[in-house]
Amino acid sequence: MNKLSITSNHRILIKQIFQKKNERLLLLLSQRLFHLNLFYDGVISYETVQVIRYYFPHLKSFSACLPHFEDFRDAIPAFIRQMKSLQYVHIGLEGDNDKKNFGTQDMYDWFRRHNILYEFKLYIDTYTNSIHIWL
Amino acid sequence: MRYDLDKSSNYFASIDTLTVRFEQNVSSVLFGFYIEKLINLDYIKHLVLNDKCHSIATFYELVLRKIIFLKTHLKI
């Protein structure tokens, strides 16, 4: 098994996977997984993103739903740079970015402005409010 | 669940993607027992946990079974 997808699930399971007491499971997963998709009814926390950076530095693809873009924009470039094997990132955003006048153009500009030095392909899906990044 | 699976003699040796969806909470021991009778877990490349009712215990069953199998093999 090298790919795990968790979809429309309770956030409890995702929380539990990353808990200290389940570290054995996490270590086994970290040895095996190259693709991790966490799409379920809810966003993952900043702490979980940090844990993923630590345990899964070799991921080739990663998908998750994150809270508002402005909360995560500082974390994303570091995440992308640290995950050396990453080829594809899909970030779902939680609602109302439009309400805050934070549009897709701003997201695009923001990615361009940051020192992600290599070329990347960015696809912004306004319908599902998500960003797909091919590195 | 027990009745249906006991009757079934199918064994899926080369399933690439396994999607697991539970209608209700299940015993992880029972699940572990039957999933091995049905599917060759070594072959699974992509595991999809869909919908609710998943627990860390059933997830453990899917991830650990292979490791336990390998360990017993190594001892022999």
State residue B76's pLDDT score.
Answer: 35
Residue B3 has pLDDT above 60, yes or no: no
State residue B74's pLDDT score.
Answer: 47
Mean pLDDT by 10 residues, chain A (135 residues): 82 85 91 88 76 92 78 74 88 64 70 69 76 82
ipTM rounded to 2 decimals: 0.77
Task: Identify all chain A residues contacting B15, using CB atoms and an 8 Å cutoff.
Answer: none
Residues 6 or more apart from B10 whose CB is under 8 A from it?
Answer: B38
What are the extents of the domains in chain A?
3-134
State residue B71's pLDDT score.
Answer: 46
Task: Identify all chain B residues contacting A17, using CB atoms and an 8 Å cutoff.
Answer: 56, 59
DSSP letter for each residue of A48-73: HHHHHHHH-TT-SEEEEEES-HHHHT
Domain around B69: 2-75
B16-57 pLDDT per residue, tens: 999 888 888 888 888 888 888 888 888 889 998 887 788 889
- Chain A, nearest residue to B43 by Cα: A1
Domain count, chain B: 1
